A and B are shown apart, each in its own frame.
Chain A
Amino acid sequence: MYPSTFRYTKEHEWVLVEGETGTVGITHHAQKELGDIVYVDLPKPGAVVAAGKPLGSVESVKAVSDIYSPVSGEVTEVNEALAGAPEKLNEDPHGAAWLVKIRLSAPDETKNLMDAAAYQAYLGES
């Protein structure tokens, strides 16, 4: 369920680090809690994001939720497919429904995040 290659935040975002690029998304747990997702608000390429700060928001039928960036850096790519089909976030949050790609300014940051085992334990507790 939770890929071992990802790192996870307490706010239920994931990041996959490949060299200097981090791909960011929300976890399966997050999409389940949100319910039917109807809208996603993401930054544009070039935007600078900081770890722990909001990078956008996701909306379900009932509510708006901020998405917090797991990492710091510059947004290089945004998943355009989500604007027209936000429900993809419910269907494939760890794969096709990635949110943004970020050029990492501090690649070491990710060692503060949870690995898959720690995240699953965290879910068990919450």
Chain B
Amino acid sequence: MVDFGGWDMPVQYSGIIEEHHAVRRAVGLFDVSHMGEIEIRGPEAFSLVDYVATSAVSKMAVGQAQYAGMLYDHGGFVDDILIYKVAPDHYFLCVNASNQDKDFEHIRQMQARRGFDCDVEFAGERYAQLAVQGPKAGATVQKLTSTDLSGIRYYRFADGEVDGVAARIARTGYTGEDCFELFVAPEFAQRLWDRITAAGAEFGLKPCGLGARNTLRLEAGMALYGHEISASITPIEAGLSRNVDLTKDFVGKETCARQIAEGVKRRLTGIEMVGRGIARDGYEVYVDGAPAGWVTSGSPSPTLNKNIALCYVPAEHAVLGRTVHVLIRGQQVEAVTAPTPFYKRAK
């Protein structure tokens, strides 16, 4: 167990590699109740969400989830979030655990700036969240719910019941596999955990900790706040332009628009190690013999059997097949730029 942003969480249950493989091949269960939730309701709820988020919120249908950045005026990230449209005047935001206080304050300030008529509620204490991830995730959860899960497409959600309790059932996840994230009231979480564990036993369900969560999301090319994105990094540098809607006004738009038009100096890219060694978070990246960037996240990849990493390099080097070196304990070890995601599940 470790302190993860003030939360007591397991790095692993049985072992990172075993848990990782369980998610890719069968089903894994994660307690992600540490995540934050913010509810925005009222006549101008849409306007507020649309103003603070980079994404095309206006295109969302009720029952849809959308990934977005939330930026400062200068274009750097406050956080990355998932927006759930519950109703035209009701949005539910899932935010990073370590940023939830900051996110709430930021949204309130933006609300005050524009005078939007809506209610912003810090709802973290009202929700526990369990993530069921893997090819057998649907089969596992279906045993516990009367909601027809096949009717919930990827990045959609439904408010129904699981194990007899009210639940928001979202087909979203952080692993690159089929996924169900279940939001329930905290008093039901323990029992739900036990029920899911029992339901998934026949498929080989494994409880999974932070270690596997990280190796899975890295293979899937997903960003982690504080690594690929931060207050000093923009969505364009991070390769998240597709989550930026320039047709509307939003906080941080100027920088995004300028960078899309003029280009960026540094760019996030995937790399695979060629020489012997593991690139780790924070290691320096060398291009043509000189320090030129840094590793944001690096780790062995259990599914690909390689050592992979995401890193920032000068934009002109963020092309496939470029040789770079990673400084590992004083030695420059060869790596090559690679496409992301590193792993994509079969359709």
Contacts and interface: CB of A to CB of B under 8 A. Distances in A.
A36 B19 CA distance: 11
B15 A36 contact: yes
Nearest to B16: A61
Contact of B17 (A36, A39, A59): A36
A38 interface: yes
Given A35-B16, A36-B15, A36-B17, A61 B329 contact: no
Contacts of B215: 61
A35 B211 contact: yes
Given A61-B215, A61-B299, A62-B211, A36 B16 contact: yes
Interface in B194-226: 211, 214-215
B278 interface: yes
A113 to B, nearest CB: 27
Contacts of A60: 16
A37 to B, nearest CB: 10
A57 to B, nearest CB: 7
A36 B11 CA distance: 12
A22 to B, nearest CB: 25
B12 A35 contact: yes
B300 interface: yes
B34 interface: no
Contacts of B302: 61
Interface in B259-317: 277-278, 280, 299-300, 302
Contacts of B15: 35-36
B278 A39 contact: yes
A85 interface: no
Contacts of A36: 15-18
Interface of B: 11-12, 15-18, 211, 214-215, 277-278, 280, 299-300, 302, 329
Interface of A: 35-36, 38-39, 41, 57, 59-62, 64
22 contacts: A35-B12, A35-B15, A35-B16, A35-B211, A36-B15, A36-B17, A36-B18, A38-B278, A38-B300, A39-B300, A41-B329, A59-B278, A60-B16, A61-B16, A61-B299, A61-B300, A62-B11, A62-B16, A62-B211, A64-B278, A64-B280, A64-B329
